[in-house]
Structure 1
């Protein structure tokens, strides 16, 4: 082999070795998630599950992402969201999914994604006469939202006073029963949750925002790990893996 080629090959091998050395040996990420169908789900809608018992679009994508990146992990579904958020924010080597990537959260985490969309909508009963052209008009109605969720936070910043539920699926039954006039939720999550509660016939009266959902990692997670996970996700999307997962659930 010519000397120049040999030197180039050695240099490439050293570069690859150095890149992999940046990931600590036996490194592991502790992943947290919540019941947020169809992205993350526990059997029978329970608020606790671990490992392969957690299903959903995001759970399937994240598992494959970590497998391809060669990064070890644990996966736990718990409740409530606010506690999970605080744990991922404050505890090294933790991650949380799926989370809307918002400007006010940008500097608090390292991000891998997007994993999927989350359209923000106001749903009403099918027989409702409510018609809205802006979110401000919703102030005249009782709006239900999910406590601690980005949608609820957005409503509060816009001057609304939503009725907050500890689980978003509670809003589906409240809307069906007439206890609230409108339900501020995500799409497709809201439609999926309503079906789980055996509730149908809702209609969208306003679409007011769109967010992208990500895996949020604690700031102490090494950049090399974040890069490997993002590379794996990009490859999965290019190969059609992400689309195939969505089609299985939707």
Structure 2
């Protein structure tokens, strides 16, 4: 009887110690991103990269933020956006960046930011004669957008029917060859992406909305981790680090 009690007590203490150790263990976040220059991009321009082979404004901010917060992380760039967004949404310990913090997404993630601005614009070729005063006027034109992106979703919600591409680079090509009249994208991201494709001088026809870009974390990420990261980012903005990083790319 006494021996059984001791064994039960020992087992109980072992379980309690294991639970305490697990609780005390630092939380690691597996971060996912995509090619979305100048905020995040693979150094070789491909659709898969890991860790130091990823660069960009948001990537550099994220690295510094996690270092200051003392939070462990991994960093992977994958394709397509819909896949990595879904992984962060459904998988504990994951996060995705950068993404627009919209009312319909508010309850889906834990948010850290803002990391940067994103004007939502319609771009046309430099020689285009198109002039618009409202998004409603764009209905008569062929509009291209990026599948799974907040901008494309916004256009659909407004009753437009954009042609959705799996890669935003495809929209640069379609605009240049006349397959679409307007490209719905972010600014400065769209212009930077076009420049990488060798396309300059695109005409900004309309700015129809804007959003702030954030790091979106799975809802099971702890309050402590979120608070550490937000405090680190706030400190970086206050001491000028965010502006310094942005200046490297723009």
Quote the residue 1:182 is aligned against. 182
Counterparts of 1:132-143 in structure 2, within 5 Å, are 132-143=132-143
After superposition, the Cα gap between the structure-2 partners of 1:242 and 1:136, relative to the gap in structure 1 and judged at 3 Å, is: same
Quote the residue 2:66 is aligned against. 66
- Provide structure 1 residue ranges, at least 5 long, that are not aligned to the other structure: 1-20
Quote the residue 1:46 is aligned against. 46
1:201 deviates by 2.1
Quote the residue 1:88 is aligned against. 88
Check if 1:164 corresponds to 2:164.
yes
Contact 2:175 2:182 survives alignment (8 Å) = yes
Contact 2:27 2:225 survives alignment (8 Å) = no
Quote the residue 1:114 is aligned against. 114
Tell me whether 191-200 or 169-178 shows the greater mean CA deviation.
Answer: 169-178
1:158 deviates by 0.5
Rounded to whole Å, the distance in 2 between the matches of 1:192 and 1:33 is 17
Equivalent residue of 2:233, what SS?
helix
Deviations 1:93-122 (A, max 9, x none): 100000100000000000000000000000
Q: TM-score, normalised by structure 2?
A: 0.90
- Provide structure 2 residue ranges, at least 5 long, that are not aligned to the other structure: 1-20
Equivalent residue of 1:65, what SS?
helix
Counterparts of 1:123-134 in structure 2, within 5 Å, are 123-134=123-134
Structure 1's consecutive aligned runs of 4 or more residues displaced over 6 angstroms after TM superposition are none
Rounded to whole Å, the distance in 1 between the matches of 2:227 and 2:22 is 11
After superposition, the Cα gap between the structure-2 partners of 1:181 and 1:116, relative to the gap in structure 1 and judged at 3 Å, is: same
Contact 1:145 1:183 survives alignment (8 Å) = yes
Quote the residue 1:10 is aligned against. none
Quote the residue 1:191 is aligned against. 191
Equivalent residue of 2:210, what SS?
strand
1:26 deviates by 3.1
After superposition, the Cα gap between the structure-2 partners of 1:23 and 1:115, relative to the gap in structure 1 and judged at 3 Å, is: farther
Q: TM-score, normalised by structure 1?
A: 0.90
1:174 deviates by 1.0
